[in-house]
Amino acid sequence: MRARTGPAARRPALGRLAALVTSVTLLSGCTLLAADDDPDQVTDAQRDDGTGRVVLVTHDSYALPKRLVADFEAESGIDLVQRASGDAGSLTNRLVLTKDEPIGDVAFGVDNTFASRALEEDVFAPYDGALPPGAEGFALPGEERLVPIDEGNVCVNVDEQWFADRDQEPPASLDDLTDPAYRDLMVVPGAPTSSPGLAFLLATVDAYGEEWPSYWEDLVANGVEIVPGWSDAYQVDFTAGGGEGDRPIVVSYDSSPAFTLTGDGERTTTAALLDTCYQQVEYAGVLEGAENPVGGARVVDWLLSSRVQAELPTSMYVFPVREDVDLPRDWARFAERPERSYALDPAAVASERADLLAEWSDVTSR
Domains detected in the chain:
1-41 (no CATH), 42-149+281-326 (3.40.190.10), 152-279+330-364 (3.40.190.10)
pLDDT at residue 176, as a whole number: 98
Q: Say if CB 235 and CB 241 are below 8 A apart.
A: yes
* Average pLDDT rounded to a whole number, residues 235-264: 94
Cβ partners under 8 Å of residue 237, min gap 6 = 187, 225, 227, 243, 245, 246, 247, 250
Put residue 141 in one of left, alpha, beta given phi > 0 → left and psi -120 to 50 → alpha: beta
pLDDT band at 348 (very low <50, low <70, confident <90, very high): confident
Residue 206 exposed, middle or buried by CB count within 10 Å (0-12, 13-18, 19+): middle
With a pLDDT cut of 90, the percent of the chain lying above it is 76
pLDDT at residue 34, as a whole number: 34
Helix axis angle for 306-316 and 66-76, nearest 10°, is: 160
Average pLDDT, whole number, for the chain?
88
Our separate counts of H helices and E strands in the chain read 13, 10
- Angle, CA 258 vertex, CA 206 and CA 276 arms, to 5°: 15
Rounded-to-integer distance, Cα 329 and Cα 315, Å:
15
Q: How much is the pTM?
A: 0.76
Is a pLDDT exceeding 50 seen at residue 12?
A: no
Rounded-to-integer distance, Cα 181 and Cα 140, Å:
41
pLDDT at residue 40, as a whole number: 64
Give the pLDDT confidence of 77-128 residue by residue, as tens digits: 999 999 999 888 889 999 999 999 999 999 999 998 889 889 999 999 999 9
